[in-house]
Chain A
Amino acid sequence: MLRFIVKRVGLSILTLVIVSVIIFLMTSILPGDIAKQTLGRDASPEAYEIWNKEKGFDKPLVVQYGRWMGGVMTGDLGTSFKFALPVSEVLGPAAAKSAQLAIVALILIAPISILGGIAAAMNRGKKVDRMLTVGGLSAAVIPEFVWGVILILIFGVVFRVFPVSAFPNEENPNLINSVYHLLLPSIALLFVLFGYISRITRAGVIEALDSDYMRTAVLKGLSRKTAVFRHVLRNALLPTIAVIATQVPYLVGGLIAIERVFNYPGFGNTLLKAVIARDFPLLQSAVFLTGVVVVCFQLIADILFAVLNPRIRQRVTE
């Protein structure tokens, strides 16, 4: 098992190295002169040169990449052009805010989606199933910001039951108030993620329902309900929980539009500001951070899956 984990962690690190190279190359090689974009078109060539020297952009690419990665290792992410603050001080609080939103959203999304998937599987081919699967996936392909706009229109403007901003105005909002503000954006994320998670759950449950061992259980004389609980859900849901972890990229990606619509000072909004200001130190690290989050969740999913599945667990241990 340990060997498996070490190997998986190694692969994840390799992936992250490739991610960092891609990010670095995109910002360095793609056409578009950073100095020109930052200082404006009218600045003198000397000004560009001084600026580039100051920021270290005159050094060879390998050196620049080394400096960036060295900084990432030691926690020094450089200084944001826009905020004139260390990147970590800009990114840290914003990421914490986004994590709050993501956690509230996941607490809402995971159980509802899993239950939806189970309900669809148990009613396979019936109306409930069609509605949940077709409806769920149709909702999932509508962009988050469209959901945001529609939700704000309905609950914030027409009925005025929910705050339209995700962030309370008070100085020290209590937990309930914070969650209350996060509810509408979480619902928007729910619409986008419900379809995927419930579909994965449904497929897992159906596979288990159709399995020979389920037949064995029923023919042993277990009632259908007991058989489903003991033999189907156990086999179907444990991997599903692991699979949810792989949906994290969608969640992180979705945060950007959601934070913009609900005006939430999180990671996504910060990243968007960095894009508009062409604040590359901030942008590089922000994008790399999303890569780290996604890869970590995938790693957790992989390991969880192996731990939960005796077949893999055994192959791994041997």
Chain B
Amino acid sequence: MSTTNIPTLELHDLEVSYTVRGIDRQVLRDISFSIAPGEAYGLVGESGCGKSTVAFAAMRYLPRNGKITGGEIFFEGKSIVEIDEGDVAQLRRSAISMVYQNPSTALNPTIRIGKQIAEVFELNGASKSEAIERAQAALVQVQISDPAQVMRRYAHQLSGGMAQRVVIAMALASNPRLLVMDEPTTGLDATVEAEVLDLVRELRRDTGTAVLFISHNLGVIRNMCDRVGVLYAGTLVEQGATADLFNNPSHPYTVGLLRCIPRGGLHKSTDRLDTIPGTPPALGTKFDGCVFAARCALVDDKCRTQPPQMVTIDGAHVARCFHSDKAGSLPRSVEQIEYVPEAKGHSTKVGDTLLDISHLSKVFTQDGHRIRVINDVSLTLGVGETLGLVGESGSGKTTIAKLVLGLVEPEDGGIITLDGKGLAKTLNRRDVQDIGGIQIVFQNPDQALNRRHSVTRIVGRAVERLRGFSAQSSIKRAHELLLGMRVEASLHGARPVQLSGGLKQRVAIARAFAGAPQIVLCDEPTSALDVSVQAAILNLLVDLQKQDQTSFIFISHDLGVVRYISDRIAVLYLGRVVEFGTSQRVFNGPFHPYTEALLSSVPNIDGSTRKRIPLTGVVPSPSKPPSGCVLNPRCPRKEGSGYEALCETEEPNLTEVEPGHFMRCHVPMAKLKQLQS
């Protein structure tokens, strides 16, 4: 490690352009920051702001249509903008490494893991056998428990978390002085993400490597980095020590971003989320003044005509804003909807049970194996309430949604009752009223909206079929619905591709409301959206619910979002409901051991530290569930509870441990409370 004051990485007025269809589009402008040896620098921003471009520029690995048009990149004081490919390769081999999103595709599918890691050592001059030995040691370093076995595997035989450990091992193999991490945990489940982040933190402590950490997730950045830069439209708008920046955000964009996030404790009943009006500028937009002027509540003429320079807030904390002193008191941005609700076919009042799911199961057959993906799920949902479904990938959230919708047929014995009336198992045996009564907003509007149809047609056709309106009145109602969701009239003739992600999701919501539904399922409706857009969609859903008592089943992996919007929560693990109760009960404890582990793994945006309760091992395959309680091999509370034998032999039932709070656990409430305090 270098002991001088020379920064490991320094960017000076960096400018990068992409050539798209013959036109140069600037994606980075005047980016300047530096990372000291051993320091972790976080770069945060929404999609399209250019954060990955910074990462790849630092690696000298821009796409073929990208080029550095100005500025400098210094690595340990030496410029790397002009050096030739051979020197770049040498640098990557010995000094700078990178870890990126989607670890499973980052590994070669046809070469064994061991050989892929050994390759790095061989590049640096190790003999073949020595390289293999060191590769195994590298796997030990990233805490893989059975390295010899993993060495012989192929990429597809690894779980996402395991693959990311392998990629990290490979990156560390060269003893790099700089590690560039581009969204290293995006796409991983919360508990796996927490493990990978813990590992990175430990490795940093052990190796003293400087890190450029890139993420859209403010919580992750806050927990991982010493200093943070906020990127908007290819421009660094604010920079400072992590605590300073998060506690005293001084650029209106940073302020808005932090306010958008449904953080711990906020709930729809009392708090409304802020939004950032408008949408981020398209790639290569030219600016006369401040890049954020078009969406800023503090904007004045100067902002529109003159680009602001970085001003010092406090020590090393800087913001690129003329009005940074006023940023903290940025006016709140609140938008209201103009939705005209329709009378519902049924007469029920808020709180009455609307949907009753009991003993729902689903078995899929794959290659001759029977896989029980949903096992004996029972849930209830009240009128005007939101039921949040949380759980990691493979827990069966989406399958439950499909069962409720009738898209997938449940096993015999499962009963779904809507407003006291039993529903047919499959869609084609349900009547129009039942079908229109339960609708869905899918995660990915690009797939959920037919790209060949206009927005009016997409919504209008749903009105026509579900409400039995004439073609003309359907179109009228469609326009009404779209305007209610704040989709301007000028966009009603557009095709989905012409709309931004947020607008597309509004169209999808309008379609879901076309049949005056009693229940709308929301399957990760904001996961594909940036946080500033997410807030607006969440507000819209909350408003809709307030106006006509629509009930929601809200599926999300984001616990903050679920906590904000839900009245009741069901926690799923391996196709089973392990905990079910009011939002408050589930989030305040005592918790089911799995819920406890899940909650403790979420990186906290408030900066408070909290002990993580780890889940050991990997999620078992639903085709071979463990005997006894399905959580028992990984359970953080089994040992020392006094119920070990029972946990390993008998599956617990979902029992009411206190009024309105259900748990599937052998360990009694009192004992859990004691263990968790």
Residues of A near any B CB (own CB < 8 A): 211-213, 215-224, 230-231, 234-235, 238, 308-311, 314-315, 318
Contacts and interface: CB of A to CB of B under 8 A. Distances in A.
Contacts of A311: 109, 154, 156
Given A220-B120, A221-B120, A311-B156, A235 B85 contact: no
A212 B61 contact: no
Nearest to A216: B106
B108 A217 contact: yes
Given A212-B102, A311-B154, A219 B61 contact: yes
B108 A221 contact: no
A210 B100 CA distance: 15
Given A221-B174, A311-B154, A314-B154, A216 B89 contact: no
A308 B123 CA distance: 26
A213 B105 contact: yes
A65 to B, nearest CB: 35
B135 to A, nearest CB: 13
A234 B108 CA distance: 10
Contacts, number: 77
A315 B155 CA distance: 14
Contacts of B98: 219
A235 B108 contact: yes
A223 B109 contact: no
Given A212-B102, A213-B109, A221 B154 contact: no
B110 A219 contact: no
A113 B659 CA distance: 73
Contacts of A308: 110
B320 to A, nearest CB: 31
22 contacts: A212-B105, A213-B105, A217-B108, A219-B61, A219-B92, A219-B97, A220-B93, A220-B123, A221-B92, A221-B94, A221-B120, A222-B119, A223-B89, A231-B108, A231-B111, A234-B110, A235-B108, A235-B110, A308-B110, A310-B110, A311-B109, A311-B156
A201 B167 CA distance: 29
B59 interface: yes
A-B pairs, top 8 by smallest CB distance, nearest first, are A221-B93, A221-B92, A212-B105, A213-B108, A310-B154, A212-B106, A216-B106, A219-B98
B123 A221 contact: yes
Nearest to B93: A221
Contacts of B170: 216, 220
A2 to B, nearest CB: 16
B552 to A, nearest CB: 36
B345 interface: no
Given A220-B119, A223-B89, 8 more contacts: A216-B106, A216-B108, A219-B97, A219-B98, A221-B89, A222-B119, A223-B85, A309-B110
A213 B119 contact: no
A221 to B, nearest CB: 3
Contacts of A315: 367
Nearest to B95: A221
Given A310-B154, A314-B154, A314-B156, A220 B106 contact: no
B107 interface: yes
B156 to A, nearest CB: 5
B143 interface: no
Nearest to B112: A310
B152 to A, nearest CB: 11
A241 to B, nearest CB: 14
Interface residues of B, number: 32
Given A215-B61, A216-B167, A222 B123 contact: yes
B127 interface: no
Contacts of A318: 367
B117 to A, nearest CB: 10
Given A310-B154, A310-B156, A314-B157, A216 B107 contact: yes
Nearest to A223: B89
A310 B109 contact: yes
B621 to A, nearest CB: 12
A310 B93 CA distance: 28
Contacts of B91: 221
Interface in B504-559: none
A309 B148 CA distance: 22
Interface string B96-139: 01101010011111110000000110010000000000000000
A240 B671 CA distance: 62
B86 interface: yes
A223 B86 contact: yes
B402 to A, nearest CB: 25
B500 interface: no
A230 B108 CA distance: 10
A224 B61 CA distance: 12
Nearest to B92: A221
A34 to B, nearest CB: 48
Nearest to B119: A220
B90 interface: yes
Contacts of B97: 219-220
Nearest to A221: B93
B651 to A, nearest CB: 27
Given A221-B92, A314-B156, A213 B106 contact: yes
A230 B110 CA distance: 11
Contacts of B155: 213
A218 B61 contact: yes
Interface in B45-99: 59, 61, 85-86, 89-94, 97-98
A274 B156 CA distance: 53
Contacts of B109: 213, 235, 309-311
Nearest to B174: A221
A279 to B, nearest CB: 48
Contacts of A223: 85-86, 89
Contacts of B92: 218-221
Nearest to A313: B154
Contacts of B367: 315, 318
A275 to B, nearest CB: 46
